[in-house]
Amino acid sequence: MKETSSFLIYNASAGSGKTYSLVKAFLKTLLLNSSPDYYKYLLAITFTNKAVGEMKERIIEYLRRFSEAIPDERIPEMMETLSLECNLSVEQLRSKSKSILHHLLHHYAAFSVETIDSFNHRLIRTFARDLKIASNFEVSLDESELLEQAVDNLLQRAGEDREITEALVKFTLAKTDDDRSWDISRDITEASGILFKENELDHVQRLKDKSLPEFRKIASKLQSELESITLQIKEKALEILELIDESGLQFTDFNRSSYPNHMLKLAEGNDPKFDAKWQETLRDKPLYPAKLLKESAHSATVIDEITPALADAFDQTKQLSFRKKFVRSLLNNLTPLSVINLVQQELDVIKEEENLLPISEFNRLINAEIKNQPAPFIYERLGERYRHFFVDEFQDTSKLQWENLVPLIDNSLAQEQDDIPGSLLLVGDAKQSIYRWRGGLPEQFIDLYNCENPFSVSNKDVINLDINWRSCATIIEFNNAFFTHLSQHFNRPEHEELYTLGNQQKKNYKEGGYVRLEFIDFNKKEDADPLYAERVYQTVRELLNQGFSLNDICILTRRKKEGIALGEILMEKGLPVVSSESLLLQHSPIVRFLADFLQFRTQPNNDELKTSLICFMHRHFEINEPLSGFLQSFFPSEKNNFNATLHQYGIDLNIEKTFGLTLYECCEYALKSLALLPKVDVYVEGFMNIIFDFEQRQTLLTQTFTDYWYNKKEKAAITVGEGLDALRLMTIHKAKGLEFPVVLFPHADVDIYYEKAAKTWMNARDLVGDDEPFRINFNKDIAEFNEEGAAIYEERRSRQQLDNFNLLYVTLTRAVEQLYIFSKNVTSNKRDDLKKYNEFFQSFLKSQDLWEENKNTYEFGSPLRGVEKTKIHTPDEVPLYYQTTFPEDLNLQVASRGAALWQTDAEIAISAGTVLHDLMENIRRNEDVDETIEEFKIGSDLEDSELKRIEEMIRNIVTHPEITHYFDSESVVETERDLITSDGRLLRPDRINFHKDNKITIIDYKTGGKSPKHMQQLDEYGEALEDMGYSVINKLIIYASEDKISINKL
């Protein structure tokens, strides 16, 4: 295997051991260098925190095993491989691994394996000032929550701003015209989702500055054009109908009266279809039935004579009709687009006021402001310089993410350090690209491994990892054959080549395996869920009899709602199921009680809430009275009587006692009062964490907790360990990167061209005079609008093909031992353009000469288990103890006043010293002083005189002639960085300045009197850093007071 190129691509099909290969390449790079700290020049990027954790764990575990290996005994397989490839003896490799591991664990922060978002976050933090954003910005991960807040703020302006009110009214009327709910908040939120999508970014930004009056002006133009086109169509249709009448012809003289009826619909303002067979042969075949030649030869002759005019009129009205559809689609989408613009403005206000930066904006900011900076400058500001890059799951990398990385990588590839060139390893598989909606473009990876090279180096190599280490032989053979057959149905040759060459996987040592493809008969859509669920249930029973455990089995669905219905039916049949739905916090009765209890505090007359609370307490306390009687005793009642009635039943819950408490404390009070603390589980803990998070972020969240929980409850869920013995049920997207002994795939009848409420962007320059594209509905009509529309349609269809075949590929390659596919039976299919999974399965079976009309089940291999069952370690259950925060329960003594109020000289000095250290931590260079001090003043409760004193101390430090050069703009600095000594002690020097040749200066700040302990502390810092390989050239203690600065050099 050739791996000498500085630019290397691993084309890694499913199960081919890409993580193993990536880790091996990372270790090889480390071992080929003589320095034990060379890992700090390596950057590995992947896309999830889970993948980061797995990769770090593997690298450290391999280094540990290598360092503990005994040369004459059996050594790890990878160690043997690396020993050969690195030309190192086992003993040399063991020694180097031990040294690297020791250094890495003591400098773990320099071990750069991270997500692309984490790396981007570091870049943006470093360049915050350049980007004109506050250095202490908060990253917003929950963009849906931010969007909902922006929509709420916008709706609150209705009635106050005339233009906004008018736009929202139009939006509402458009909804009600479509017989949809008048509640527009959810629709606006859904439509505004494009504000966070990279694929929509350019279009959205180009329309950002358009005002509501400008949108109204465009709408007026489009409305006028629509009326004009409608009139032209009507006039032409009436002209033709008049011609037919004047020619003495009847509608029945035409074949099925098709042509005149078509024109009549146009004259009446309707939209007839333009896809009938007679329309395709309008100029080539007679428009009348053959019998007309016998019954009225004259009429047939007249029709022949006027056919050219009829055909010309048809073509003209067809062209006008599609232009009408284009204009109408533009017009229908214009109001939503103007409302999305308003939401964007509200988002900008929230982001500025709350100092927030949505994670989706990372790539745009870097692309616009940072990527064009010289790479050495970026590295210098980062404080890191990477020489070797490892990018995992490249097919999920967005266009902006890749463009942002290219300059940094190119700089490293183009230079050598100690005769060692930089390198790049990309690992990916375009067949597993299923996140286009999130910006992941398979075409980007296809172009890269085929011909494109964005770097100045030309030595690019592509290595195909062609052994499937995951699945058993039969599954590999089935997938190779099926997806190679599927490749024939692609519209684009590069997609066909991807699936032809990418499905020649070689088998591993695992023999056996089993694939079953079942076709199920049903006609009504509502019959699908119960029929699929029954076949899944019966199959699970078979698998349990074969010796599989429930947690060996994973059920995959294309859509979430299919999984929900399936899970409910299977649980009703007694099978435990773990899914994103079953793990929702709201499934806990105690969580539902707490949510109702919090809402009831502010809505005591809400009988529905009251009933829910009473029913819960009736069950919980096992009240020895029928529920109806228990309920009756609370109605009718006022707020106070509710508490009294509870007391009569021995329930010590008083709503009034919660007034003045935080929401968190209210829930604790309820749990304690109802003796629920022993029953607190992970669901309740999760809910309490959400309450805590809500109260911590009150400045952002102006909504009530009831609204907040309403928006959260469909997503807030617990996580469970791998050892739980239950069926796993998830969507295909969630299953990517995972593997399971058995996979079941019901609802395998997906329409590959179906997209709900699909939209696209098209230029409307000739209609509105603007170059900006506008949003329209995506359907087959756009192919008839113009050349641009036809190109967009073909491009989108090709992408739909690839994306949905990729989804199918990911699904069928998750299984290790057995794969079950349940699909709707194909009753008849005379079309050449197959579009559903079940049609492609049928086509494959026919190509293998296996299809039989009355046969519904097809088997490949044997269900007898051919591999040893993997034992899953189930951790011992750890009891959960919930600790309340009430002071009387914690037995804490709380000091109510801080050092600034105590007024003793020693304590004021301590307080000043703490503030000085906090501020100096953020001051790396001279130019940081003003911003740091001003930000501190905003949130500080110190007296003005104290603030002035501290400010003078700081300015005296950074301008002192003996040390001011340590604060210049060229300085490379770390502040308050943790050091772990060889004996495990934690040290934290105030400041370290890094110089050339691994030399450093250590600086510590003090505000009290001098002490020998200060010298001793600085010596400990120096020893720890010298153990790490640095040369300490200066150690400084800066004693600061308001009138002078004293510097001690050691």
HEC sequence for 316-355: HHHHHHHHHHHHHHHHHHHHHHHHHHHHHHHHHHHHHHHC
Q: Are 840 and 751 in contact (CB under 8 A)?
A: no
Do 194 and 329 fall within a single domain? Answer: yes
Do 242 and 380 fall within a single domain? Answer: no
Do 321 and 234 fall within a single domain? Answer: yes
- What are the Cα distances from residue 997, in Å, to 17, 975, 1031, 1033? 40, 20, 8, 11
Do 49 and 116 fall within a single domain? Answer: yes
By three-state DSSP, how is residue 272 classified?
coil
Specify the DSSP element, H or E, that contains 728: strand 727-731
Domain end residue (candidates: 354, 378, 405)? 354
pLDDT at 907: 44
Q: How far is the C-alpha of 733 from the C-alpha of 436, rounded, in Å?
A: 12
Do 443 and 562 fall within a single domain? Answer: no
Do 222 and 106 fall within a single domain? Answer: no
Look at residue 592 and tell me if it is in a domain.
yes
Look at residue 1005 and tell me if it is in a domain.
yes
Domain range for 338 is 142-354
Residue pointed to by tokens 């982001």: 351
Look at residue 155 and tell me if it is in a domain.
yes
Domain end residue (candidates: 321, 354, 387)? 354
CA dihedral 132, 134, 140, 144 (to 10 degrees): -60
- What are the Cα distances from residue 1037, in Å, to 233, 966, 991, 1046, 1048? 88, 13, 10, 8, 5
Q: What residues are paired with 421 via a beta bridge?
A: 416
Look at residue 886 and tell me if it is in a domain.
no
Domain harbouring 368, CATH code: 3.40.50.300
Number of domains in the chain: 5
Q: Are 705 and 664 in contact (CB under 8 A)?
A: no
Look at residue 475 and tell me if it is in a domain.
no
Do 915 and 800 fall within a single domain? Answer: no
Do 688 and 800 fall within a single domain? Answer: no
Q: Is the dihedral of CA 82, 86, 91, 93 positive or negative?
A: negative
Low-confidence ranges of the chain (pLDDT < 70): 1-4, 71-72, 176-183, 371, 380, 383-384, 637-640, 697-703, 720-723, 828-832, 866-913, 939, 941, 980-986, 1042
Do 340 and 404 fall within a single domain? Answer: no
Give every strand in the sheet of 972-975, ordered side by side. Answer: 972-975, 991-994, 999-1006, 1031-1040, 1045-1049
Look at residue 1012 and tell me if it is in a domain.
yes
Do 904 and 983 fall within a single domain? Answer: yes
Look at residue 866 and tell me if it is in a domain.
no
Domain harbouring 517, CATH code: 3.40.50
Look at residue 1001 and tell me if it is in a domain.
yes
Residue range 481-532, pLDDT digits in tens: 999 999 999 999 999 999 998 889 999 989 999 999 999 999 888 899 999 9
Do 334 and 369 fall within a single domain? Answer: no
Domain end residue (candidates: 326, 354, 382)? 354
Q: Are 212 and 164 in contact (CB under 8 A)?
A: yes
Do 190 and 209 fall within a single domain? Answer: yes
| Predicted TM-score (pTM) of this structure | 0.78
Those residues whose C-beta lies under 8 Å from the C-beta of residue 1, and which sit 6 or more positions away, are 463
Closest C-alpha to 28, from 71, 115, 88, 91: 88
Residue pointed to by tokens 């395709």: 280
